[in-house]
Structure 1
Amino acid sequence: MQRIGMVIGVKLEKIEEYKRLHAAVWPDVLAMISGCNIKNYSIFLKEPENLLFSFFEYHGTDYAGDMAKMAADPKTQEWWAVCMPCQAPLETRKEGEWWASMEEVFFHA
C-alpha cells in the first residue's frame, strides 16, 4: 500500500462551488476511484491560503496503469472538466502534474 499526498490551489471565487461538487460526487466517478485501487480518499481545504490537500491510499500493484485507466474514463474526464476550472495549480509543480505531489516525511500507525 502507498500513501499519496498532493496539493493544489483553489480559486477564491470557486471555493463554494468546489465544496458543492464534492458534497455530491458522481457515482460513476466514485466507482472509478475504487476500481483503480484507491481507498480512504480525502480532500481538505486550508483557508485563507485556499489550498486543497488530498490524501489517499493506493492498494494496487500498477499505480501508473491505474491512473491511466482513470484518465481514459469518459465520465472521469467529464468530472475533471467541471472541477479543473475551480483549481489553481501551483507554479512549483513538476512538469506533467496538475496536483503537485508531496513527499511523505512522517507516518505513525
Structure 2
Amino acid sequence: MRRFGKVIGLRPERREEYLRLHAEVWPAVLATLTACNLRNHSIFLAGEQLFSYVEYVGDDYAADMARMAADPATREWWQLTDPCRRRTADAVPGEWWTPMREVFHHD
C-alpha cells in the first residue's frame, strides 16, 4: 500500500460550490475510485487550501490513474470541480494537485 498526500488551492468564490459537490459525491465517481485501487480517501480544508490523503492498494498506479482519467463520469465530475480549484506555485506541470513528501508516519 502506498500513501499519497497532495495540496491544491480553493478559489474563495467557488468554496460553497466545491463543498456542496463533495457533500454528495456521485456514486459512479466513488465506484471508479474503488475500481482504480484507491482507498481511505479524504480531503481536508484549511483556509483556502485543500489537502488530499489517499491510499493506493494496486500494482500499477500509472495504469489505474489513466483508467480513472478515461472514465466518463469522472471526467464530467472534474469539469465541475476543476474551476473551483487553483494550482499551487509548486504544482507539477500538467497536474492539478501538488504532491507532498511524507516526512513521518506512525502505525
TM class, shorter-chain normalised?
over 0.9
Deviations 1:45-71 (A, max 9, x none): 001xx0000001000000000000000
Q: Which amino acid aligns with 2:69?
A: A
Q: Is the counterpart of residue 23 in structure 1 residue 23 in structure 2?
A: yes
Paired residue secondary structure (1:39): strand
Query: Could you tell me which of 60, 63, 79 is aligned with 2:61?
Result: 63
Q: Supply the distance in 1 between the matched residues of 2:71 and 2:21 (Cα, whole angstroms).
A: 19
Which 4+ stretches in 1 moved above 4 angstroms? Answer: none
Secondary structure of 1:52's aligned partner = strand
TM superposition shift of 1:91: 2.2
Q: What TM-score results when the alignment is normalised by the length of structure 2? A: 0.98
Percent identity of equivalent pairs:
55
Q: CA RMSD in A?
A: 0.6
Question: Counterpart of 1:43?
Answer: 43
Task: Give 1:104 shift.
Answer: 0.6
The residue that corresponds to 1:103 in the other structure is: 101
Q: Distance in 2 between matches of 1:100 and 1:32?
A: 21
